[in-house]
Structure 1
């Protein structure tokens, strides 16, 4: 599998995970089943999705040089991000404050119940001792002993009730133990433990939200980026990146001094019926690099001498038709001969004028 595909796949998975994390914070009550999906939850999904999409559009608009559009998308992205962070940190702070309130309430209840338990246990112990002294070891009357036994039963119930209340509250639990441990670690190096803990409780929700929000945006942006795919060069095996390019001028410009009509074009492509075979006929049997041409009536050497003489005298050759008529050859042959002369740097490039190619002497 190409590396680019693997990278895109990993980025896509990471982007989905980060996005799910951001939504989980905002939709916790729906995810846990404690509330039904309502309009506010749907709007939350719209805000998160729209914020991520506008974040990608900022880059695309900038690359397309639509700077005003990029500015608008940037404003939407920043507004959406601020709103998502505000809502997410608010949800996390709500849980933190709720946990703190519950911890404070439990601490107050323990402080209230423990003295009552101690008092009930003391009264229970005193009544039990009196019952033993008066009714077991002593000879007090039945009514007195029955009263002590009833009182002992009441104190016993009170003790059990206070203990049940403490068991229901459970053992004291620290609020945000990770912040507590981090503050304790910072305190080892001389930091203020209370300030570090308070700062952690404020900063961590913000950082977590930013991580999910920006993580989703950048990962999905990388997964759906517009970049040319890489390919392997067959000959060398090296990685080559296929980049779009502008066509070269030679690829879009009109070819100089080519045939101007159907007959000349046909002659240029498929050749003349009779090839030049000797020097007197302008042949190129001694030089295979020269183009073959001619219709049997022209002299190649005379043709080249004529063209060079005209240009040396500063004359302008308006059209290749004149040369074809003067030397008794067709325009296809003229075109090939001139092309060969340009290849040997004997003449300059032609100028396109209407349907003709004008040949002007170089300055």
Structure 2
């Protein structure tokens, strides 16, 4: 071994023009289908806006509702669930596999320990059997596996933009990834929809915003996409996002080109509009109830009319007019008549 080291040293000294291999940090990996920003640039990480965003998220009251219920996806074997401790190892491996960055352990542990981050994070779980009725996330089978996930954070918008005293927030997508064999089935969209929209009661009914959106007063959703990632940009545009003008240069320091584009979705929701929809639905239900009651009353009245005014006996003779049952004393009974006839018959010897 010492000889090998010495020989290598001699070769290097004799050939000074030969450059050493590039370190792994400078190699250019291929961009993933849905690349997400590994971290903010150094200039932005120390900016007052980034500090204010972190402070605003810490000051937000966590969502106190139940978000542990699983959500169905178009794929019969895949559900969207809240992140639990058992999911963290698989989620860590998938994130490091699909994204060209290495997040610290706190990035994953905060999903469990921070209630705000927990309410804004989901995982896609593949089951080895079709999930006909989506169960609650109370346990995990040994055959179930994590195939993707989403993690978001909240950014406070302009302080003068408030609705009913609540400061408006922006939902920033930090990570959104899915293993390639399961893409094209609407699973990634289900991950995002599980945070933004409430489950639809009827097929084809317009989704309403979720309670999480209302609680945090989320007015928009944004994400960074690698400037050369045409598939990722088309994916966001197909779901209502708009690509903002300009490119954030140097955002992806490990990719070439290193720029990023910002996509934005304005969340359309209004308390008054939803209250109006609910009142309309209640009014329609009341009208249907009244129509049903009126129809029942008409049916009852129709039966009464038929019973009161039907004079046709339909060939049935009333009991008091029946000659068979209404006997008089002068009419002999059949038994008595038979006895009299037998008395007049001659007896055989």
Which TM class, normalised by the smaller chain length?
A: under 0.3
TM-score after normalising by structure 2: 0.21
**Which one has a larger percent strand, Structure 1 or Structure 2?**
2
